[in-house]
Structure 1
Amino acid sequence: MLTRETTKTAAPFLLVGAGAALLALLPWLATGMRLPLQNLWAASTMPDDMPLVLLPFSQYALGFIVSVIITGSAIAGGIVRLLGSRVPRFGLAAALVGTLLVQVIALVQTAATVIGGLSRGGAATVYLVALVGGTLAAILLGVLVLLLIARAPAPGVAIALSIVAVAVGASMSGAVLPFGLVVFEAHDLARAAVQWIPAIGVGVAIAWSGFATVGRAVAAAGSLLLLWLGAAAFTAINAAAGTRVLAAYPAEMVEYAGQVFAAVLGSPRESVVQVAIAVVAMLVALVVFRVIRSRRSAEAPADAAGA
């Protein structure tokens, strides 16, 4: 039963969730929050005159939107997990509500602003529905990630962290490439640096979980599969959504996305290399974790003797 005392102790976790969601939005908020130029905007508008929005609705920023949503949910789940037994009853639920509150407000504010400026017609309707639907799907996936990180055993956390790693790669690409948080001359360097973040993140997540049980081994294989499929999916979605000539033809856009997805899966550089780097990152992380555990084991008897 929800008592006044329970409500008081759980209430701060509303702020935890809301703060996590806002933190993930910082890469976009730092750009000034100007809506990117829209191909289907009703009136000719200069970039600096576009309205302010909480999400960068654009066919060129789908991956970025998905990633900031999932990242916010992951941060909230991570805080809850780190606090462990100090989380009160309904604390997790409060953190989830706080996260969803910020994300839904961001979606509603952005969608309402875009509706007011888009031209009328079937293409604009399809465009808006796709952006809203994609954002809602990201919010739902974020709920799963938050719950897994906050409460699941190690295999579930490894899967969730792998989803986050793939998403964060897209988030960082979005932060430094389309929206200009780094100078133009640094774009090539930034692209080279961020393209391997998903693989490294997945490798570290697998190493953290380990292979001691069947469940952990299955989670490790699933994480590599997520990396392989997820990276290809982000590439395919961005390629199809960014093709202006297909904007009015949803069926053709989906077909093109499928073609790109299949091509990326079959490309050694885009898929096999990602998995190979994840395996290397996993091996390195395993060694690092083993050294850390060994040092802790050696320090524990010394601390006990000193006491």
Structure 2
Amino acid sequence: MEPDDTAIESEPATAASTEPETTRSRPLGWWLCLLIGAAAAAIGLLPWLVEGMRLPLQNLWATDATPDEYPLVLLPFSQYFLTRIAALLVVGAAIAGIVARATRSRQRRFGIAWMLAGLLAVQVTAIVQTTTVVREGLQERFESDLYLAALVAIAVLANLIGVLVMLLVGAAPRAGAVIGFAIAAVLAPSWLGGLLLPDPVTTGPATDAVLFVLRWLPAVLVGAAIAWGGVGSIGRVIAAIGALVVLWIGPALITAVSNAAGSRVLARHPDEMLDQAVGVFRAASTTPELVVPPIVVAVVVAALGLVGGLVVRRNRASTAAPGSSPGSDGASARADDDTVASGPPPSRTD
């Protein structure tokens, strides 16, 4: 219609003014949010899917089966794969949280709830399917029941941690999101290692390079998360410190649990297994050679990111300053500073 065309021409649209309107005009439907959550969960399981989904060897299996004869499961239930189980579930949840945060302006009121429902639909199905298959194949013994119950407890706990990570990353202010990123970062090496090194026995230059990347990946990710979150408020400073604490405690806890649970000698003595885990955790969390380097790397990466971001923002402000009118220099500078400090306004408090 001509009146509409005239109205459009009389108000030249800018990228800043039209983008929110275009975004709001195409909100994500509930079914799409549901699919996003399910897809994120599937991506989280990807390393295990690529590996073939063959159940790891079981000490309490009822029959003498070869590795190729074990059934297919959606999670690697084994006392030797506890970290992998947690990584598959938590990393998938973190991916869902990232997508949820990136699409907040396009979500309807319960968009993130539908994403969470899709995530849980896949992950709970994986836990139930694996539990059912393993229970049918284990020996009819008390030890088998205890073993399976422990694995289910680990999977459920990892699932709950994943839900927390998704909500922190997807819906919390930046301070909370930094903590969520830090939790996922600690488990990222196990997830990426399963994808790039399905056979950990393999050696060679490529394997050494991957192991080097996995060694420093959590520190780099935590540093990048701190730089993204910033330190412009007390809450963000506390979050940055909390992320460093997660980087300090998380790997030590993973090492302790893996070391104790992976010992067949201690499997029949839970009290000794607990003592072993506590001793390993104490050593791993207090040895300077293990604790200090990752924290230093994280701090350096965070500092570089913060300084780099500040330089980029100042360059943008100085570039925009000559184009402002003489009478509005002060107001334009203040507006630029506000825009630089806060970034594009999100749909909810960031």
* TM-score for both structures, normalised by structure 1: 0.90
SS in 2 for 1:232: helix
State the alpha-carbon separation in 1 of the partners of residues 294 and 278 from structure 2: 20
- Do structure 1's residue 180 and structure 2's residue 193 form an aligned pair? no
Aligned equivalent of 2:188, options 157, 160, 168? 168
Q: Do the aligned partners of residues 98 and 220 (structure 1) sit closer, same or farther apart at CA in structure 2, a change above 3 Å counting?
A: same
Match of 2:163 in 1: 143
Matches of 1:206 and 1:35 in 2, distance apart?
38
Contact 1:169 1:194 in 2 (8 A): yes
Residues 1:29 and 2:46 are matched in the alignment: no
Runs of 4+ in structure 1 off by over 6 angstroms are: 301-305
CA drift of 1:299 comes to: 6.0
Distance 1:297 1:119 in 2: 69
In 2, Cα distance between the equivalents of 1:125 and 1:90?
Answer: 39
User: Any idea what SS the aligned residue of 1:246 has?
Assistant: coil
Is 114-123 or 74-83 further displaced after alignment? 114-123
**Quick one: which amino acid aligns to residue 68 of structure 1?**
L
The 2-side partners of 1:121 and 1:188 are apart by 42
Alpha-carbon offset, residue 295 of structure 1 = 4.9
Q: Name the aligned partner's letter for residue 108 of structure 2.
A: P
User: Quick one: which of 99, 122, 143 aligns to 2:142?
Assistant: 122
Matching residue of 1:78: 98
Per the TM alignment, residue 303 of structure 1 is displaced from its structure 2 partner at its CA by 9.3
Deviations 1:146-168 (A, max 9, x none): 11111111110111111111111
Which residue identity lines up with residue 180 of structure 1 in the other structure? D
Q: In 2, Cα distance between the equivalents of 1:190 and 1:222?
A: 28
SS of the residue aligned with 1:59?
coil
Change (3 A) 1:270 1:293: same
Please, which runs of 5 or more residues in structure 2 have no aligned partner? 1-27, 326-350
Deviation by residue 1:35-85 (Cα, 9 ceiling, x = unmatched): 111122111111111110101111111111101111111111111111122
In the alignment, which of 65, 87, 90 is matched to residue 85 of structure 2? 65
User: In the alignment, which residue of structure 1 is the partner of 2:30?
Assistant: 10
Shift of 1:281: 1.6
What's 1:5 paired with?
A: none
Residue 293 of structure 1 and its aligned partner are, at CA, apart by 3.1
**Could you give the per-residue CA deviations for residues 262-302 of structure 1, whole angstroms, max 9, x where no partner exists?**
01011122212221111112122223333443454456569
Q: For residues 282-293 of structure 1, what are the structure 2 equivalents within 5 Å?
A: 282-293=302-313
Aligned pairs for 1:1-307 within 5 A? 9-177=29-197, 179-180=198-199, 183-185=202-204, 186-297=206-317
In 2, the alpha carbon distance for the partners of 1:296 and 1:20 equals 35
Q: Which secondary structure does the structure 2 equivalent of 1:244 belong to?
A: coil
Choose 145-154 or 99-108, whichever is displaced more. Answer: 145-154
Residue 31 of structure 1 contacts residue 181 of structure 1 at CA under 8 Å; is this kept in 2? no
CA deviation vs aligned residue, 1:228-261 (integer Å, no higher than 9, x gap): 1111001111111111111222222122111100
Provide the rounded CA distance (Å) in 2 between the counterparts of 1:181 and 1:13: 36
8 Å CA contact 1:123, 1:247 repeated in 2: no
Contact 2:284-2:291 within 8 A present in 1 as well = yes
**Is the 8 Å Cα contact of residues 10 and 89 (structure 1) preserved in structure 2?**
no
Per-residue deviation, 1:24: 1.1
The separation in 2 between residues aligned to 1:224 and 1:271, in whole angstroms, is 11
- TM-score of the superposed pair, with normalisation by structure 2: 0.80
Which stretch of the first structure deviates more once superposed, 90-99 or 268-277?
268-277
Question: 1:107-148: per-residue Cα shift (whole Å, max 9, x none)?
Answer: 000111111111222322222111110110011111111111
Q: Aligned partners of 1:292, 1:27: CA distance in 2, in Å?
A: 37
Paired-residue identity, % = 45
Q: Is the 8 A contact 1:73 1:143 kept in 2?
A: yes
Q: How big is the shift at 1:174? A: 3.8
- Separation of aligned partners in 2, 1:123 and 1:276: 44
C-alpha contact (below 8 Å) 1:20/1:75 kept by paired residues: yes
Aligned residues: 297
